[in-house]
DNA sequence: GAGTTTGAAACT
DNA sequence: CAGTTTCAAACTC
């Protein structure tokens, strides 16, 4: 019964959304916001760059991959245990996973059903509508129809790898984007309004041909240091200046007889200052693509000083105000929406959490591929309530994630990333995705997004062991310790060695079993006969392995080089202890499972 | 396209 | 506040 009710409700929601979207589209058309021509830049290959740069496919230093899915077992931020025990844990977590899967499947079945219902109950879906809840293909179909009917879209492909959400169509107000027309760029929703402002100025004062807007993104990136300081959304590395006229590809069907705009010139490429792009003077797109990783030092200029209070520069394209109060006073027609063909794929958040990129960018979903979306005009109250809640929790929530540092003039992540496995060399890392080297606030492990390309690229690649290849042998195990080993060992074997019981008590958040495990590990280590006499070398060796070694230590270690085998032995001991513990833990968990009703 | 990995956001 | 869970994007195959 519940499920049926849910179905009905969701079905209603879908229909509502659809209606609302259609209305919205009508509004947009009536207000003439969507121009007759929109230019879409689409790299077409979001992951192009990493593929082109072999050195970028790197592997984390942490060899222990067997624990990857069981981080919940970690007893302390500094100690992750690993061994066969996860096999058991697999069962536990897979139970949970299966539940999730079931739920998801159910949901998706519902989704499908709803789609069918929607299709059957609305036989004449307006071609101009972008309806949430409609399947991807359907959605694209509709969009294509859009293009055919009253607009010509061009996709610029292959120019550069760009993060997906930035492949947004530019909404340009103006009849046919000719120099004689006053052309207004309304942005793409994810774009810093200051950029559109700047560009509009340039267009309409410098008599620049609007088609030169095709390198718009690169220009914008050059202006902004490759990111959007307003919403924190990350803009990819820009095109190299004066290179690579992006290939213009018409998105419209072949029937379209409107020729694509000419290849762009780069009217403001001179604004690219510093950064690696200036050094990559290679004029060929291919070489620039293959040679320059996304996280090149962003070309930062001081043009971002105008980034505040410019949310409303574009008449109708009003960004929702932070406080819902003032929002109610001004009409929001149309409400800023995610441009078509882009957007999120949220399934569980209703697009009302920061998980949703649209929501996080203060945009309403539009043409997204989300399911159960409430981030739309029809639910505007809910949207604002959600925003208020989030702001209450964290007033900075919608602030830019990157800010320009006073001294260095470089943009840095305000909160910093916390990457553990990507070495900040994949787009999982927000810093890397923004093309910005990690900064002081980053608490990443094994960070290689330092801005020094040589280091970043010349990494000895250690391919990860595939699951079936992972052996629970000593060599396959590493302990992802995040602080100097000495600081962990010292309390146990150091001069002022604390009573073990006291140490365990410090792990207050752990349950007894976990505390016991730690106790066991530490006591085993402590009891090892060679530990006491070689503790210095042990610390040094462990620390070195983990990259914590100081210069002084390096010197010392060099002298004690011949003692290294002892340290190895120690590690072996440590690992053996782990094994013992985990097999015990495994039994413990087995018992728990068996006795679970 | 399905499945996996990842780290931010959310939750407790 | 730290540890854990949830989430959607990035990534892999
Ligand atoms: Zn969403
Ligand atoms: Zn969306
Ligand atoms: Zn949505
Ligand atoms: Zn990072
Ligand atoms: Zn970082
Ligand atoms: Zn980093």
Ligand 1 centre to CA of A395 (Å) is: 21
Distance A12 CA to ligand 1 centre (A): 19
Residue nearest to nucleotide C10 (CA to C1'): A428
- Close Cβ partners of A323 (under 8 Å, ≥ 6 residues apart): A388
A369 CA distance to ligand 1 centroid (A)?
A: 8
Residue A116, exposed/middle/buried by CB under 10 A (0-12, 13-18, 19+)? exposed
- State, as a whole number of angstroms, the distance between the CA of A105 and the C1' of B3: 14
Nearest-CA residue to the C1' of C4?
A72
Of A240, A19, A246, the C-alpha closest to A125 is A19
What is the ipTM metric for this complex? 0.98
Q: Find the Å distance, CA of residue A399 to C1' of nucleotide B11.
A: 22
User: Which positions on strand C lie below 7 Å from a protein C-beta?
Assistant: 2-13
Nucleotide with the nearest C1' to A401 CA: B8
Ligand 5 geometric centre to CA of A8 (Å): 45
- Straight-line distance from CA A221 to C1' C7, in Å? 29
Burial of A120 (0-12, 13-18, 19+ CB in 10 A): exposed
Res A428: pLDDT: 97
Distance A135 CA to ligand 1 centre (A): 15
Q: Give the closest residue to B3 (Cα–C1′).
A: A101
A559-CA/C8-C1' distance, Å? 51
Identify nearest nucleotide to residue A420 by CA to C1′ distance. Answer: B7
Rounded CA-CA distance A224/A192 in Å is: 8
Q: pLDDT tens per residue, chain A (597 residues)?
A: 444 444 444 444 444 444 444 444 434 334 433 333 322 233 333 322 222 222 222 222 323 333 333 333 333 333 333 333 333 333 323 333 333 344 444 444 444 443 443 333 333 333 333 333 333 333 333 333 333 323 322 222 222 333 333 333 333 333 333 333 333 333 333 433 333 344 344 334 433 333 222 222 222 232 233 334 333 343 333 333 333 333 333 333 333 333 333 333 322 222 322 233 333 333 333 333 333 334 444 333 333 333 333 333 233 333 444 443 334 343 333 467 776 567 999 999 999 999 999 999 999 999 999 999 999 999 999 999 999 999 999 999 999 999 998 888 889 999 999 999 999 999 999 999 999 999 999 999 999 999 887 556 555 545 555 444 443 332 222 333 333 444 444 444 444 445 555 544 554 444 455 555 555 555 655 555 554 444 444 343 334 433 433 344 444 555 455 455 555 666 666 656 555 555 555 555 455 545 544
How many whole angstroms from A428 Cα to the centroid of ligand 5? Answer: 10
Interatomic CA–C1' length for residue A231 and nucleotide B9, angstroms: 16
CA distance A503 to A77: 15
- What is the spatial distance, in angstroms and rounded to an integer, between the CA atom of A360 and the C1' atom of C8? 12
Distance of alpha carbon A472 from alpha carbon A177, whole angstroms = 64
Report the footprint of strand C: residues with C-beta closer than 7 angstroms.
A 46-47, 50, 57, 71-72, 74, 76-77, 96, 100, 163-165, 344-349, 351, 353, 355-357, 426-428, 433, 466, 509
**Ligand 4 centre distance from Cα of residue A431 (Å):** 6
The bases of strand B with some atom under 7 A from any protein CB are 5-11
Q: Å from A524 (CA) to B4 (C1')?
A: 36
Task: Parse chain A into domains and list their residue ranges.
Answer: 342-398, 400-459
Contact A266, A215 (CB under 8 A): yes
Calculate the angstrom distance between C1' of C9 and CA of A164. 10
A370 Cα: distance to centroid of ligand 1 (angstroms): 6
Q: DSSP H helical segments within A256-376, as ranges? A: 275-279, 285-291, 324-329, 357-360
- Whose CB is within 7 A of strand B? A 60, 68-69, 353-355, 360, 390, 393-394, 397, 401, 415, 417-422, 424, 426, 428-430, 467
Distance A306 CA to ligand 5 centre (A): 25
Whether pTM > 0.95 for this model: the answer is no
Q: How far is the CA of A105 from the C1' of B2 (A)?
A: 13
Distance C7 C1' – A518 CA (angstroms): 31
Buried b (16+ CB within 10 A) or exposed e, A44-62: bebebbbebbeebebbbbb
Residues 6+ apart with CB under 8 A from A165: A190, A233, A342, A343, A357
Euclidean distance between CA atoms A561 and A9, whole angstroms: 70
Q: Across-strand partners of A389?
A: none
Three-class DSSP category at A248: strand
- A103 CA distance to ligand 3 middle (Å): 19
As a whole number of angstroms, the distance between CA A238 and CA A163 comes to: 11
């Amino acid at each position: 019964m519940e499920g049926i009710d849910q179905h009905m409700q969701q079905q209603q929601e879908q229909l509502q959304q659809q209606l609302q979207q259609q209305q919205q589209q009508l509004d947009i058309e009536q207000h003439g916001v969507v121009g007759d021509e929109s230019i879409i830049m689409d790299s077409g290959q979001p992951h192009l760059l990493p593929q082109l740069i072999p050195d970028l496919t790197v592997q984390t230093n942490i060899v222990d991959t067997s624990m990857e899915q069981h981080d919940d077992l970690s007893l302390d931020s500094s100690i992750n245990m690993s061994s066969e025990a996860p096999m058991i844990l697999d069962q536990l977590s897979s139970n949970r996973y299966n539940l999730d899967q079931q739920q998801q499947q159910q949901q998706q079945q519902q989704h499908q059903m709803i789609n069918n219902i929607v299709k059957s109950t609305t036989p004449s879906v307006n071609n101009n509508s972008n309806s949430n809840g409609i399947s991807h293909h359907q959605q694209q179909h509709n969009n294509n129809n859009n293009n055919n009917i009253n607009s010509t879209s061009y996709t610029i492909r292959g120019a550069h790898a760009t993060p997906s959400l930035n492949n947004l169509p530019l909404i340009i107000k103006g009849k046919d984007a000719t120099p004689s027309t006053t052309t207004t760029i309304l942005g793409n929703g994810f774009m810093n309004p200051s950029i559109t402002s700047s560009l509009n100025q340039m267009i309409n004062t410098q008599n620049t041909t609007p088609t030169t807007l095709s390198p718009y993104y690169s220009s914008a990136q050059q202006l902004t240091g490759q990111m959007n300081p307003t919403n924190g959304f990350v803009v990819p590395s820009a095109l190299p200046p004066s290179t690579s006229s992006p290939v213009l590809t018409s998105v419209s069907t072949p029937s379209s007889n409107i020729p694509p705009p000419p290849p762009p010139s780069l009217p403001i490429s001179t604004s690219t200052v510093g950064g690696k792009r200036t050094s990559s003077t290679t004029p060929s797109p291919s070489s620039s693509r293959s040679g320059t990783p996304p996280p090149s030092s962003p070309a930062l200029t001081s043009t971002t000083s105008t980034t505040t209070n410019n949310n409303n520069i574009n008449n109708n394209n009003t960004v929702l105000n932070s406080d819902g109060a003032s929002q109610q006073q001004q009409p929001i027609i149309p409400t800023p929406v995610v441009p078509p063909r882009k957007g999120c794929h949220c399934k569980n958040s209703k697009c009302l959490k920061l998980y949703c990129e649209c929501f996080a960018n203060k945009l309403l979903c539009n043409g997204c591929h989300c399911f159960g979306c409430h981030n739309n005009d029809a639910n505007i109250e809910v949207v604002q309530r959600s925003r208020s809640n989030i702001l209450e929790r964290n007033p900075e929530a919608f602030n830019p994630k990157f800010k320009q540092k006073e001294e260095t003039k470089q943009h840095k992540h305000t909160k910093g990333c916390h990457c553990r496995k990507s070495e900040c060399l994949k787009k999982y890392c927000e810093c890397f995705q923004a093309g910005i080297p990690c900064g002081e606030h980053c608490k990443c492990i094994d960070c290689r997004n330092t801005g020094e390309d040589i280091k970043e690229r010349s990494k000895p690649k250690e391919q990860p062991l595939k699951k079936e290849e992972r052996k629970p042998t000593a060599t396959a195990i590493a302990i992802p310790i995040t602080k100097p080993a000495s600081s962990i060992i010292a309390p146990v074997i150091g001069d002022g060695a604390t009573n073990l019981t006291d140490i365990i008590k410090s792990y207050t958040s752990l349950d007894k079993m976990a505390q016991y495990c730690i106790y066991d590990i530490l006591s085993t280590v402590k009891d090892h006969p060679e530990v006491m006499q070689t503790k210095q070398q042990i610390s040094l060796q462990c620390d070195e392995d983990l990259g914590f070694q100081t210069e002084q230590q390096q010197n010392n270690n060099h002298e004690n080089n011949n003692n290294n085998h002892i340290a190895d032995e120690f590690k072996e001991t440590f690992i053996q202890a782990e094994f013992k513990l985990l097999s015990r833990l495994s039994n413990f968990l087995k018992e728990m499972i068996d006795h679970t009703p």
